[in-house]
Structure formats: structure tokens, C-alpha cells
Amino acid sequence: MENEKTHIDFENSIGPWLGQTVKIVDYFIQESFELNHLDLTKEQMIVLKKLHDKDGLNQNELAFLTLRNKSSLTRLLTKMEAKNYIFRQQCKKDKRSKIVHLTSFGKEIFKKTKPVIQQLITTMEQNISIEEKQQMIKIFKKIQTNFCSKAAHI
């Protein structure tokens, strides 16, 4: 009975605002890719970015860096391989492991995303001061820490 009396103020909590903002950003990322004739998803762009930063990651490292489970990453990489953005090769030290590399076409596609992403960042950060941006980043890090510490206790 007490649960019925408990009032949850969703509109003034962080969750819905964060969720709505992520959906809007995701929409505009996809829209921008399409308008710029980039056959790419946000998830694929993240993989391209990680491989651009450090080519030759094994799939386990890439799953960790992209916050994806192994099976969803495998599906994503299969699609990216079909588009010739990446290629996988068997690890010489561990035959069960695959190393992921950017193709020259994948490098070219990533290069084409840079001005698109920069424009999205400019739009996103419009009318937000450097101090507000730093405060938001600090708050997002706290939220992530809150969940990570909670997950450690489960």
C-alpha cells in the first residue's frame, strides 16, 4: 500500500532529461550522416573512431572501449566488414581472438565524418559557456561513477 502513496517526480529528475537528450542527439547524428551521404550509424562511427585512435585492437578490447557486449559487437563488425570499413584477422598468439583493423576505405569514411561531427558539436554546445560545459561533464562523470559503484555491489 505504501508504494501507491510514494510520489516520484520524474520530470524533475535527471533520467528523463538525459534520455530525451540522448535520443535527440542520436537523431541528429543519423540525420547528418544521411544528409552528407555517409552510410554509417553512430555505433559504426564510434568503432571507426576507436580504431582510428588505435588500429589493431582485439574484439574484446573493442567491446570494452565501445561499451558493447561481445555478440552485439560481432554483429556490428560483420556489417562494417560487409561495407569494407574494417577487416578482422586471427590473432597469431591466440587463435580464438580476432584483431580488428581499419581498411583504407574505413579511414576515408572516418575522415569524412570529422566535419559532420564537428558541426554537431558546435550546434550542441551553442549558447553553453565553457564553465557550463565543464560542469555538465563533471555531473555526467558523477552519474557514471554512481552507476559503476552500484554495479560493483550487485
Contact 86, 100 (CB under 8 A): yes
| pLDDT of the residue at 48 | 98
Q: What is the CATH number of domain 2-128?
A: 1.10.10.10
Q: Which amino acid is at 130?
A: I
Residues contacting 63, CB < 8 A, separation 6+: 69, 70, 73
Number of Cβ within a 10 Å radius of residue 66: 16
Element (H, E) at 88: strand 86-90
| Angle at which helices 104-125 and 14-35 cross, to 10° | 130
For residues 62 and 48, the answer to whether their CB atoms sit within 8 Å is no
pLDDT (tens digit, 0 to 9) for every residue of the chain, 154 residues total?
455 678 888 888 999 999 999 999 999 999 999 999 999 999 999 999 999 999 999 999 999 999 999 999 999 999 999 999 999 998 888 777 899 999 999 999 999 999 999 999 999 999 999 999 999 999 999 999 999 887 666 6
Burial class (CB in 10 A: 0-12, 13-18, 19+), 41: middle
